[in-house]
Amino acid sequence: MKKPELLVTPTKLTDIALLAEAGATAVIVGEQQFGLRLAGEFSREDVKEAIEIGHAHDLKVYVAINGIFHNEKVDALKDYMGYVASLGVDAFVFGDPSVIMLAREVAPNIKLHWNTETTATNWFTCNYWGKKGAKRAVLARELNMEAIIETKEHAEVEIEVQVHGMTAMFQSKRSLVGNYFKYQGKSMDMMKSKYDRHMFLFDKERNAKYPIFEDSNGTHIMSPNDICMIDDLEEMIDAEIDSFKIDGVLKSTEYLVEVTKHYAEAIKLCSEDRQQYEKIKQSLYKEIEALQPINRPLDTGFFYKETVY
């Protein structure tokens, strides 16, 4: 049975070898001026080294350029893409159509993975971008299991699904937190986390803490829970989903390595020894649950939830 790729987002260069040893088969790196919600900031030199380290450990290395680009950034984007392509990157992760146009000029041989995080909701759209040059579509996190399997059945491109970690609930290109403090005062509960540059929005009614942070791409509000599908991989593996993603945003190296080990074991057993997977999948879940911060419970995201608009 086909085993899916295990894709992880490292927080720094030294994570890459550790994640490879833990069982990852691909990583995503990049810098925030071009990529959205990266687990770590990787300069040009870091990207070069990341590709070298990754390939030395038989990992595929993808570079995120999935921002929304204005006219003044296009020249810098073109230069960046040409530079990264010369390093032998395995794929660009993109959302803006400008990337396809520029790739034809400066990186015609580099694979493109379409990832807008929100609009890959049907196979027609996935195949549309496939015809434009994308080799993979990253499905929206709001899709349920039935829609994911149905999309894979009809897709003409590879399909990637996030199976672990937090998800983005909201993004604005404006500096909302900075402007809020500057002009409105502190009428909403804001709570600093152990990371100096991160804060939580605290919802007293639901007793939920939403991580919120700002970078050069604006303001991001993240989910209060972490997706965890380690005990429910059967349908997606049987459907031959091409890539399972563990998102490392706001996670520690230690956490990412342990979670990657658990998923690597789960994928191997689910693909090769289904009976054994069924025996241990609950224990794998409980071990990950024990790693969770007290304010970040695990759930199944939208995999089994009806989305109400």
The per-residue DSSP string of the chain comes to -PPPEEEE--SSHHHHHHHHHHT--EEEE--TTTSSS-SS---HHHHHHHHHHHHHTT-EEEEEE-S---HHHHHHHHHHHHHHHHTT-SEEEE-STHHHHHHHHH-TTSEEEE--SSS--SHHHHHHHHHHT-SEEE--TT--HHHHHHHHHH-SSEEEEEEEE--EEEEESS-HHHHHHHHT-S-S-EEE-SSTT-EEEEETTTTEEEEEEEETTEEEEE-SSEEE-TT--HHHHHTT-SEEEE--TT--HHHHHHHHHHHHHHHHHHHH-HHHHHHHHHHHHHHHHHHS-TT--EE-TTTT-----
Q: To which residue do tokens 């990253």 refer?
A: 138
* CA gap 110, 104 in Å, rounded: 9
Domain boundary assignment for the chain:
5-165+227-299, 171-221
Q: Which amino acid is at 86?
A: S
* CA gap 93, 278 in Å, rounded: 34
Q: How far is CA 71 from CA 9, 52, 64, 98, 155, in A?
A: 28, 32, 19, 10, 32
* CA gap 117, 129 in Å, rounded: 14
The pLDDT of residue 181 is 60
Q: Which of 136, 140, 126 is nearest to 227 (CA)?
A: 140
The pLDDT of residue 264 is 98
Q: How many CB atoms sit inside 10 A of residue 238's CB?
A: 14
CATH 3.40.50.300 fits 5-165+227-299, yes or no: no
The pLDDT of residue 305 is 78
Per-residue pLDDT of the chain in tens (309 residues, 90 and over written 9): 789 999 999 999 999 999 999 999 999 999 989 998 898 999 999 999 999 999 999 999 999 999 889 999 999 999 999 999 999 999 999 999 999 999 999 999 999 999 988 789 999 999 999 999 999 999 999 899 999 999 999 999 999 999 999 887 676 666 666 665 666 555 444 444 333 446 766 777 777 777 777 777 777 777 778 999 999 999 999 999 999 999 998 899 999 999 999 999 999 999 999 999 999 999 999 999 999 988 889 999 889 976 554
